[in-house]
Amino acid sequence: MIKKVRLQNFKSHASTELETGNLTLLCGQNGVGKSSVFQALLLLRQSHQKSRLNDVLDLNRPLCEIGTAFDALYQFGDDTIQFTLEGDKGRAHWEFKYEENKRNATFLKVEK
């Protein structure tokens, strides 16, 4: 079970950390980032299903459609999008690099 989700520089999330439980409700005004929490999880899953998560984060299809790399990046952050999941089986962390000259790319490369 996922117990904690952390998003950095992703869409409307400069730095967001959520503790989750058996039942977690996300509520708030429109445009504050509720859906993008789920989108982050779907992006990780779709890239994993394509066996590409060690190299890139696929931003489109089949589970989620973000658009371009520019669309995924928090507008006031730096150029690294980070996702961290903590759960019963440990912690997983991913960092993806936004490149200004590839702002229309439909994927983000893993920061190595």
Q: Rounded to an integer, what distance in angstroms lies between the CA atom of residue 104 and that of residue 70?
A: 7
pLDDT, one tens digit per residue, over 39-72 is 999 999 999 999 999 999 999 999 999 999 999 9
Cβ proximity of 64 and 25 under 8 Å: no
> What is the spatial distance between Cα 98 and Cα 78, in angstroms, rounded to a whole number?
9
% of residues, the chain, pLDDT over 70 = 100
- pLDDT at res. 112: 80
- Residue owning tokens 């993008």: 36
What CA–CA distances, in Å, run from 91 to 4, 87, 88, 99? 9, 6, 9, 27
What are the pLDDT digits (tens) for 12-27? 999 999 999 999 999 9
What does the pLDDT read at residue 69? 98
pLDDT tens, residue by residue, 79-95: 999 999 999 999 999 99
Tokens of 71: 């669309």
Q: What region does 70 belong to: left with phi over 0, alpha with psi -120 to 50, or beta?
A: alpha
The one-letter amino acid code at 22 reads N
